[in-house]
């Protein structure tokens, strides 16, 4: 069991619900404390963190007074900053810190540097319902606590990612990792989490994996395929308890040695991929994924970031803000359908600058089509 | 010591692909250079003292629309480049001019979106391929001219869209560098490309035909070859205006 300290100025139904939710299943224990006089709280936290593996902190700590007249003059991010400094000074060991907040507009109240202090940001209002489930939040808390403990004696990239060698890794990723590893553990874990695992790299998520295999995830034997055939390629390094990922280059090798030496998976249609996958085992019940309305190719390779269905990159638009991606990170797309009629603008803001004219041209094209139909 | 350097050669080829990906990415000419980066990494890590290899599928470029495209209502023009290559690292320091590749499959696939007369969307396709000729026992049966390296329109990538010829995308074709031809060479080109080998076997073995063609080739192909060659080896040649290497092959970069 991992112990987390939770700091909040309020302890109403929503906070009690959150604590109970986290404690479900007995994997996480929570010590709840309220804010107080700064010096006292830092001393108290330093003591508590000797026997705890992480911290959850609310951003606003001054809604309610902590005694008769006094309200905290600091925020959750101020505490996080102080703790990260104490880590650097080697007063305490590094721990995962999660920000939990009812504030919907975190981008406005926190700058990027402050956000970088946290391992994750969770919405207090949506946890357990429309946001992250408690089961996933528990997995996240456990995975990060475990990663921080593991990294103490394992600073090698092959140890952290559970690899035999670095053959699968981009040399520039290894270089950046070597730079990050000079810093405290939270910088290293953040780098691996944010820049490697959470992005599509040589590691791919389940949605992308299904897309590349051409499989409709509702297929009866999708789970069987993963368990029986794809398990050796499952990522088992740090944070793998929370982020389910597969090593894609190893799956390509497997395709070549076990399925087909004549074909490259990338150039096959979903139906062709499924037909070949079915040769693995008699009676394998797999359905090919289907194309979205405005797609033209079912040689699926990625997913629409907003609507999550599989697309071939030819049927998508690059999302803005990816010009400075690291070279080992793959680009994210929205489908033609989403770009023409956005359904989920939280997932993306606009298409990349170099794609704007093409999107306009596509809108004009479909406009022309409408005109001809009307005539 | 020499062996180690040769191993480095293949690794540098891979590194160059990664650098090229970065440049393409920076210039915005290619939306997603991931395939090139992965191929470069693979090449760098797997190159040996004797050979190197890499492949990628669908490095994608958006093509600007241009006059002369058939059909005229055509949108979302894209070109996807795929390659599968095995190259040799030349270890022998002798005078043999070696074939630099063991295998090559090089495909350019074009696609676009058109409208039928009934205003229905129509996928448009066309493709080019540059392949290294695969030699085998059945070579004698090859029906048409197959140069060692051949650039051709169509091929397997278009056959996969069989039944879609009504939706072919026809663009102004690239201007392929090719040696000059006179009337005799023109006839030879037509015979060898558009007639069955059996049909032309007789004329091709005719001594007079052969002499005429050989003389024409020496007159027209040899200077072309010398100019091409001198791009790397300045052997004291002078050139007529517009017959410099860069004139006959403008893709040369000096």
**Residue A273 maps to a domain:** no
| Chain A positions in Cβ-Cβ contact with residue B44 (cut-off 8 Å) | 171
Chain A, window 13-72: residues with a beta carbon less than 8 angstroms from a chain B beta carbon: none
Helices (H) and strands (E) in chain B, counts: 7, 5
Does residue A288 sit within a domain?
A: no
What pLDDT was estimated at residue B242?
A: 83
**Is B82 touching A (CB cutoff 8 A)?**
yes
Mark yes or no for CB contact A170/B41 under 8 Å. Answer: yes
Q: Closest by alpha carbon to B127, among B105, B153, B100? A: B153
| Predicted pLDDT of residue B2 | 43
Asked if A331 and B37 come within 8 Å (Cβ–Cβ), the reply is: no
The predicted structure's pLDDT at residue B1: 40
Looking at the structure, tell me whether residues A165 and A144 fall in a common domain.
no
If asked whether residues A190 and A324 sit together in one domain, one would say no
C-alpha span between B245 and B224 (Å, rounded): 8
Distances (CA, A) of A177 to A161, A168, A245, B112, B249: 12, 14, 19, 42, 45
Tell me the shortest Cα–Cα distance from B8 to chain A, in angstroms.
15
Domain match, A78 and A127 both:
yes
Q: Judge if A26 and A144 occupy the same domain.
A: yes
Compare all CA atoms of chain A with the CA of B77 and give the residue at the minimum distance: A358
> Residue A70's CB: how many other CB atoms inside 10 A?
12
DSSP B100-128: -EEEEEEEEEEEEEEE-TTS-EEEEEEEE
What is the predicted pLDDT for the residue at B160?
61
Q: Are residues A141 and A160 in the same domain?
A: no
Gap from A45 CA to chain B (nearest CA, Å): 45
Q: How many CA atoms lie within 13 A of A318 on its CB side?
A: 24
In tens digits, chain A (375 residues) has pLDDT values of 999 999 998 888 888 888 999 999 899 999 999 998 999 999 999 999 999 999 999 988 887 877 778 888 898 999 999 999 999 998 899 999 999 988 766 766 778 888 899 999 988 888 888 889 999 999 999 999 999 999 999 999 999 999 999 999 999 999 999 999 999 999 999 999 999 999 999 999 999 999 999 999 999 999 999 999 999 999 999 999 999 999 999 999 999 999 999 888 999 999 999 999 999 999 999 999 999 999 999 999 999 999 999 999 999 999 999 988 999 999 999 999 999 999 987 889 999 998 998 999 999 998 877 777 777
| Chain B environment of A331 (Cβ under 8 Å) | 31-32, 34
A339 token code pair:
């770009």
* CA distance to B36, B106, B125, B170, B253, per residue, from B174 (Å): 23, 15, 16, 12, 18
> Whose CA is closest to B174, among B76, B79, B57, B253?
B79
**Within-domain flag for A93:** yes
The reply to whether A46 and A95 lie within a common domain is: yes
Domain end (from A149, A173, A207)? A149
Which among B22, B75, B111 has CB closest to A314? B111
Give the closest-approach CA distance of A183 to chain B in angstroms.
27
Contact A170 B111 (CB under 8 A): no
Q: What is the pLDDT of residue B161?
A: 62
ipTM over 0.85: no
Bond before A122 cis per omega within 30 degrees: no
Determine, for residues A373 and B119 on separate chains, whether the beta-carbon distance falls below 8 Å: yes
Of A264, A331, A362, the CB nearest to B76: A362
Same domain, A25 and A140: yes
The domain of A137 spans 2-149
Residues A49 and A136 in one domain: yes
Q: Report phi then psi at A66, rounded to 5.
A: -85, -20
Cβ atoms A181, A188 nearer than 8 A: yes
Tokens encoding A330:
């793959």
Element (H, E) at A57: strand A54-58
Q: State both tokens at B189.
A: 């080109």
pLDDT of the residue at A104: 66
Could B58 and A368 be called an inter-chain contact, meaning their C-beta atoms sit closer than 8 Å? Answer: no
Q: Let me know whether A327 and A355 are in one domain.
A: yes
Domain boundary among A197, A232, A256: A197
Q: Which of A266, A40, A22 is nearest to A124 (CA)?
A: A22
Backbone Cα Rg of chain A: 24
Question: Which residues of A fall within a CB distance of 8 Å from B73?
Answer: 365, 368
> Are residues A27 and A124 both part of a single domain?
yes
Any domain includes A347? yes
| Sequence-distant (≥ 6) Cβ neighbours of residue A199 within 8 angstroms | A325, A329, A330
Nearest CA in chain B to A296: B123
* Whether B28 and A368 lie within 8 Å, measured CB to CB: no
**Does residue A157 sit within a domain?**
yes
Please say whether the dihedral angle defined by the alpha carbons of residues A207, A211, A213 and A215, taken in this order, is positive or negative: positive
Dihedral of CA atoms B134, B138, B144, B147 in degrees, nearest 10, equals 30
CB contact under 8 A, B55 and A327: no
With a cut of 50, list the residues of chain B below it in pLDDT.
1-4
Query: Is A218 a member of any domain?
Result: no
- In B69-205, where do the E strands start and end? 74-88, 101-115, 121-132, 149-153
- Strands (DSSP E) contained in A102-210 are 120-123, 203-204
- CATH number at A80 reads 3.40.50.2300
CA distances from B98 to A163, B86, B89, B175, B233 (A): 40, 14, 10, 27, 16
The sign of the torsion formed by the CA atoms of A266, A270, A276, A277 equals: positive
For residues A99 and A164, membership in a common domain is answered with no
What is the structure's pLDDT at B80?
93
Is residue A8 included in any domain, yes or no? yes
Q: What DSSP string runs through B210-244?
A: HHHHHHHHHHHHHHHHHHHHTTT---S----TT-S
User: Looking at the structure, do residues A161 and A99 belong to the same domain, yes or no?
Assistant: no
Best residue in B14, B18, B34 to probe A by mutation, most A CBs within 10 Å? B34
- Partner-chain contact B58 A313, CB within 8 Å: yes
H or E, element range at A186: helix A185-192
Contact B169, B126 (CB under 8 A): yes
Number of domains in chain A: 3
**Hey, which residues 279-318 in chain A have their CB within 8 Å of chain B?**
296, 301, 313-314, 318
Block residue for tokens 């700091």: A7
Q: Which of A181, A197, A213 is the last residue of a domain?
A: A197
**Which residues does chain A have within 8 Å of residue B18's beta carbon, measured at their own beta carbons?**
172, 327
B82 contact residues in A (CB cutoff 8 A) = 267
pLDDT at B138: 59
Could B58 and A301 be called an inter-chain contact, meaning their C-beta atoms sit closer than 8 Å? yes
- Residue at A244 is within a domain: no
Q: Put the strands of the sheet holding B149-153 in their side by side order.
A: B51-62, B74-88, B101-115, B121-132, B149-153
d(CA B80, CA A312): 12
């Amino acid at each position: 069991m991992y112990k987390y300290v939770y700091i909040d100025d309020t302890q109403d139904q929503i906070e009690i619900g959150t604590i109970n939710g986290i404690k479900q299943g007995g994997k996480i224990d929570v010590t709840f404390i309220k804010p107080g006089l700064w010096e006292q709280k830092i001393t108290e936290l330093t003591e508590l963190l000797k026997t705890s593996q992480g911290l959850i902190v609310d951003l606003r700590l001054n809604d309610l007074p902590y005694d008769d007249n006094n309200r905290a003059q600091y925020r959750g991010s101020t505490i996080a900053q102080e703790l990260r400094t104490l880590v650097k000074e080697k007063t305490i060991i590094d721990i995962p810190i999660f920000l939990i907040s009812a504030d919907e507009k975190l981008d406005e109240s926190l700058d990027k540097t402050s956000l970088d202090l946290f391992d994750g940001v969770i919405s207090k209002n949506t946890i357990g319902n429309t946001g992250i489930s408690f089961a996933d939040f528990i997995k996240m808390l456990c995975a990060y606590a475990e990663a921080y403990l593991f990294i103490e004696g394992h600073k090698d990239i092959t140890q952290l990612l559970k690899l035999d060698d670095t053959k699968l890794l981009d040399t520039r990723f290894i270089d950046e990792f070597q730079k990050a590893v000079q810093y405290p553990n939270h910088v290293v874990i953040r780098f691996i989490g944010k820049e490697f695992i959470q992005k599509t790299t040589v590691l791919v998520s389940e949605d992308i994996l299904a897309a590349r295999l051409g499989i409709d995830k509702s297929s009866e034997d999708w789970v069987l395929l993963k368990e029986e055939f794809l398990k050796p390629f499952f990522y088992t390094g740090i944070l793998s308890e929370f982020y389910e990922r597969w090593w894609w280059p190893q799956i390509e090798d497997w395709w070549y040695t076990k399925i087909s030496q004549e074909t490259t998976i990338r150039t096959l249609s979903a139906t062709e991929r499924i037909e070949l996958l079915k040769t693995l085992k008699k009676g394998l019940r797999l359905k090919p994924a289907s194309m979205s309305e405005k797609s033209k190719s079912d040689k699926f390779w990625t997913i629409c970031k907003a609507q999550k269905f599989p697309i071939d990159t030819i049927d998508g638009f690059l999302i803005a803000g990816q010009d400075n991606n690291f070279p080992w990170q793959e680009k994210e797309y929205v489908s033609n359908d989403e770009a023409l009629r956005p359904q989920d603008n939280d997932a993306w803001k606009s298409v990349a600058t170099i794609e704007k004219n093409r999107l306009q041209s596509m809108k004009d094209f479909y406009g022309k089509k409408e005109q001809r139909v009307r005539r | 010591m020499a062996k180690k350097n040769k191993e480095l050669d293949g690794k540098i080829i891979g590194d160059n692909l990664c650098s090229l990906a970065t440049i393409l990415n920076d210039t915005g000419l290619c939306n997603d250079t991931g395939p090139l980066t992965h191929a470069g990494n693979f090449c760098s890590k797997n190159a040996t003292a004797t050979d190197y290899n890499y492949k990628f599928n669908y490095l994608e470029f958006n093509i600007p629309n241009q006059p002369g495209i058939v059909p005229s209502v055509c949108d979302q023009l894209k070109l996807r480049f795929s390659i599968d290559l095995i190259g040799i690292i030349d270890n022998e320091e002798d005078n043999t001019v070696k074939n630099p590749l063991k295998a090559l499959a090089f495909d350019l696939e074009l696609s676009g979106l058109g409208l039928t007369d009934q205003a229905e969307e129509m996928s448009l396709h066309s493709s080019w391929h540059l392949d290294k000729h695969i030699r085998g026992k059945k070579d004698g049966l090859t029906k048409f001219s197959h140069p060692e390296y051949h650039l051709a329109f169509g091929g397997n990538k278009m056959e996969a869209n069989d039944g879609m010829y009504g939706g072919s995308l026809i663009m102004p074709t690239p201007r392929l560098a090719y040696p000059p031809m006179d009337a005799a060479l023109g006839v030879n080109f037509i015979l060898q490309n558009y007639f069955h080998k059996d049909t032309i076997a007789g004329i091709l073995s005719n001594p007079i035909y052969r002499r005429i063609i050989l003389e024409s080739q020496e007159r027209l192909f040899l200077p072309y070859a010398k100019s091409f060659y001198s791009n790397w080896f300045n052997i004291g040649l002078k050139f007529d205006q517009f017959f410099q290497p860069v004139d006959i092959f403008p893709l040369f970069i000096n």
